[in-house]
Every structure is written in structure tokens, then in C-alpha cells.
Amino acid sequence: MSVQCVGFVLCSPSSRPLPSSRIAVLNMLPFLSAAGIDTRILFEPAEPTETPDLTGVAERAIEAKCDVVVLQKIRGPGAEALAHKLAAAGVGTVYCVCDLVDASMARATDATTVVTEYLKSLYPTQLQSRIHVVHDGIERPVMEKKEWGNNTGTWLNPLKAVLVTSATLDHLPFIDQPPRWLKVGIVGRYARGLRRWQETRWTLAMQTRDERFDYLRFLANRRIECLPWDQEGVYKEMLQADLAVIPIDQPAAALDSTASPPWKVKSENRLTMKMSIGLPVIATPIPSYEPVIEHGVNGFFARSTHDWKACLTALRDPERRREMGVAARASVTRKYSMKEQATKLIRVLSEV
């Protein structure tokens, strides 16, 4: 049976969406509409939250004659109660989650979509048939690097590496101090102007003496530039870069923790975004990246400081950068496209 109407419950406002809301829901709506599916935003909070008050949502879904309701990162007792209420009314439910495992929500809903095979593998065996992989779709596939230049990197004319992160990095994992022939631009959650200065003071106040020394060395390094993220500027930085890096700290999980550490459950979105543009990428191997990169062909994996130095040196060769960038783009543009992910989502909705 084909699905006719789908309602969405968001964890952030559509006017100021978190990346997860934008990628998993808002980017999918045009594709669902093109497939003849009526879509409704049943609930969006004034501020981001995963555990909102869902009073009245079931009634709105039933009134709108929704076949399926998608709970985008919404969880907790209220969300489970909503799923049960909708089930009693004959409305299917899908839990859509990107960076954690919630077996209770998977049990309460008819299906769960996750962004990686690794995340799926973390769910209990008895729930596996209800867990489906829908990747983060590449948002701007038309953005494509056309020139890789002939520069091999010097002190006066360094190569430029770009690192896009959702964090406010205060150090460069593995790389630490870039070589004299390289400049690294970190596009992250950095504030602007006076607020940036205030955040820097706060960070310094919370650090030990050794940490403070390392942080000041990081801030003073002229080969490291920290840039505030915005949706247009991040693409400008990537197109102007010669290569991309994704070094990830991998601290051990707490001994008393049964959950996977945060670095293990990251999606491949930052990686495929850079590869789609045509950038040669060096990355720390994590579960979501391992199926994407073929080492030495469409990217590099670097596990140690020695590996990072070797891979960076290899990409001083302009032709190697071009060949790897072209291979990177070719390997991800279809498999991780928004259209492909919308097709997978529609399949899940129809099955529910």
C-alpha cells in the first residue's frame, strides 16, 4: 500500500533548524512531494529539544489523516506514549535518529531510520528487522572543484587544508602544529567579535596551566585560522581549499559506560560533503567513514601522527590531489545523494 500523507514532529524549529532537522526532514520534503506524498509539519518547538510536550500532536495527525508520523530525534516517555496512541488509531510511526541508540523508541515505533550501518548494528538483535539505514544526503551536489592548481606548498605560498566541524576545536588532533607549507582553516562553531573574545576568556579560565599553554599556542599559530560556520561561507572555504582533513580525537569510553563513544556514532556527512566537492580528504578511520574511503584511491585514512605527516606530504603533489579529488566525487555523488536517500525513506514509509 502506498503512503499518502506523512506528518513530521521536529526537534528544532524549521525557521532555525538544527542540521539533523534540515538534512533528515526539510531536505526530503520536495522529493516526497514529487512522489505524490502530502507532507505536514505537525510539531516544531520554539527552541531545539528532543523531549518536548507533545500534547495534541496525535489529534493533529489523525485530523490530517496521516498514514505515518515521523519523530525526528524526538524521544522519551512522551514520545513513546504518542507512538502508542497513534498505533491505536491505525497510524504508523517512524523514529528518525542520527547519533544515538534508543532501543525503547525503536520498540515503541514501527520502524527506525539511522544514518549508518554501524548505528544499526548497535540495536538489539530482535529489533534489527525494524532498523533501516537512510544516510545523510549531500546537500549541494552542484558545488564542484574545477581547479587543483600546481602549488606544492611553501612557507610563502602554503597549501590550504579545510576542516569542517560542528564543535569549537581548541587544538588540532594528530596534526597539532601544521607543517610550514600548510595552512589549516577550521570552520566550526566559533563566535564572532566580542562574543568570541568572551568565549576565549571563559575557555582559558576553565583550563589547567598546561592546557592553557597549549590553547594559547593554538590561538597564536598563524597557520591555523578559526572561522565561524555559516551555510554559505563553509562552501566558499571548501572550494578554495587544496585538500580537506578530518582528524578526530578518539578518547577511550568510560569503563562503566555501555554506550559507544561519540566519535564512533558520527555520520559520514562531513566526509561525503568534502568528497562531493572534489577535495582529496585525509580522515581518521571511524565506523561511518570506513565504507566510504578506499585508502589511497578516493581518500586517505591516517591512524597516527606519522600517518598524518605521510598523507599530507603525498598530497603536496598537484596531480595526486586532482586524481584523488575526482575519484572522491565520483564515488559519493550518487550513493549519498538526497534523491537516493529520499527513495530509501519513501520505501520505509510505504512498508510502515
User: pLDDT per position in the chain (352 positions), as tens?
Assistant: 588 999 999 999 999 999 999 999 999 999 999 999 999 999 999 999 999 999 999 999 999 999 999 999 999 999 999 999 999 999 999 999 988 899 999 999 999 999 999 999 999 999 999 999 999 999 999 999 988 889 999 999 999 999 999 888 888 999 989 999 999 999 998 878 777 777 777 777 787 877 777 778 888 889 999 999 888 899 999 999 999 999 999 876 544 556 678 888 899 999 999 999 999 999 999 999 999 999 999 999 999 999 999 999 999 999 999 999 999 999 999 999 999 999 999 999 999 9
The pTM for the full model equals 0.90
Q: What is the grid cell recorded at 118?
A: 554501524
Is the CATH number 3.30.360.10 carried by domain 5-137+338-351?
A: no
**Secondary structure string (H, E, C) spanning 51-97:** CCCCCCHHHHHHHCCCCEEEEECCCCHHHHHHHHHHHHCCCEEEEEC
Residue 131 corresponds to which amino acid? I
CATH 3.40.50.2000 domain range(s) in the chain: 5-137+338-351, 159-332
CATH number assigned to the domain with residue range 159-332, chosen from the 4 options 3.40.1350.10, 3.30.413.10, 3.40.50.1700, 3.40.50.2000: 3.40.50.2000
Helices 269-277 and 318-332, interaxial angle, to 10°? 120
pLDDT value, residue 257: 55
pLDDT value, residue 255: 46
Strands (E), the chain: 5-9, 38-43, 68-72, 92-96, 111-114, 131-133, 159-164, 182-188, 224-228, 243-246, 281-283, 300-301
pLDDT value, residue 213: 78
pLDDT value, residue 112: 98
Task: Please check whether residue 9 is in contact with residue 69, taking contact to mean a CB–CB distance below 8 angstroms.
Answer: yes
Residue with cell 576545536: 169
CA distance 181 to 170: 21
pLDDT value, residue 62: 97
pLDDT value, residue 129: 96
Residue with cell 593554538: 218
SS3 133: strand
pLDDT value, residue 8: 98
